[in-house]
């Protein structure tokens, strides 16, 4: 079994993990009601997705 000869330094370890950071979700505007919503999801405000009413929103 392979075993490392030297300890991996914290700098080297952190450089390797630098691209693993989570980016926040950028909201987009709903094409029907112009409210911010998560991309590729049904609008929670009006219930539309891609110009078609998918869900009737509860009020």
So what's the pLDDT on residue 59? 66
Would you list the DSSP string of 1-59?
----SSPPPHHHHHHHTGGGPPPPPPPEE-TTT--EE-TTS--TTT-EETTEE-SPPP-
> How far apart are alpha carbons 23 and 50 in whole angstroms?
25
Average pLDDT over residues 27-49: 94
Average pLDDT over residues 8-37: 94
Read off the pTM.
Answer: 0.60
């Amino acid at each position: 079994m392979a075993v490392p000869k030297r300890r991996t330094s914290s700098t080297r370890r952190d450089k390797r993990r630098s691209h693993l950071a989570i980016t926040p979700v950028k909201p987009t505007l709903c094409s029907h009601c112009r409210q911010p919503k998560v991309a590729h999801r049904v609008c929670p405000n009006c219930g539309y997705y891609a110009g078609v009413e998918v869900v009737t929103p509860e009020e």
